[in-house]
Amino acid sequence: MNAGAAFTVYPAIDLRAGRVVRLQQGDPLRETGYSGTPLQIAQQWLAAGAAWLHVVNLDGAFGDDGAANALALASILRSGARVQFGGGLRTLPAIEQALQLGVERVVLGTVAATEPALVAAALAQFGAHRIAAGIDARGGEVRIKGWAAGPGGSASALAATLQAQGVRTIIFTDVERDGMQQGLNLLETCALARSSGLQVIASGGVQAASDVHAARAAGLAGVIVGRALYEGQVQLPALLRELAADDARGVRT
């Protein structure tokens, strides 16, 4: 758990063919487009006070051509943002290229579940502070390859394996809630954090600022917020002011 450590709100920038979109439950046929200018979106969230951005190459996750998203990522990085980036990073050269481009931390998804040797190599070469693992689950079972397949095994078992390898940070996404604005699955997310001892960033389903406050109160390391920001259910400046005021008072809401 995250007792005593900084709590981070990560605005999500999901990229498809160079555009900013959100999917419902990871389904490419249930897409909502928000902007054709990712840099403008990045600047918007930075101006609102974001310390980090969570950027996802959806095309890479689905195994499609990610050239347009690579250009979009480069433009986002020119904003000076601290970027946590994932989607389709399945080789050591791809990981290295992202980090050399200026990404602060990469998120390994499919390979975290299927290629432990690659995870070990990435940790050894770049350090645990630059490598996070994404655990995406439906009904507690791990999903991979853009959530289209399942290798078998539980999220908790995978988290234990990653912790033993030296991973420090995981992003846990409840696939059934992602993009649905039904609230975070805090019960499962917190159970994963307790059992693994890892820093866990919650993802999938934020519908209101209260979800973010609840995640911090539960001792999680952070929350990724997507559709609720883009559609106005969460106002980022107000949320960050509330969190900062609570910090100043020593209160964990």
Catalytic residue flag (residue 136):
yes
Contacts 24+ apart (CB under 8 A), 76-80: 76/13, 76/38, 76/39, 76/42, 77/101, 77/102, 77/103, 78/39, 79/39, 79/42, 79/43, 79/46, 80/46
Written as one string, the DSSP assignment of 205-235 is ---SHHHHHHHHHTT-SEEEE-HHHHTTSS-
Catalytic option among 14, 174, 178, 211 = 14
Is residue 14 flagged as an active site residue? yes
Residue in 59, 136, 174, 211 annotated catalytic? 136
3-state class (DSSP) for residue 133? strand
Give yes or no for a contact between 168 and 188, defined as CB atoms under 8 angstroms apart. Answer: no
Q: Which residues are the active-site residues? A: 14, 136
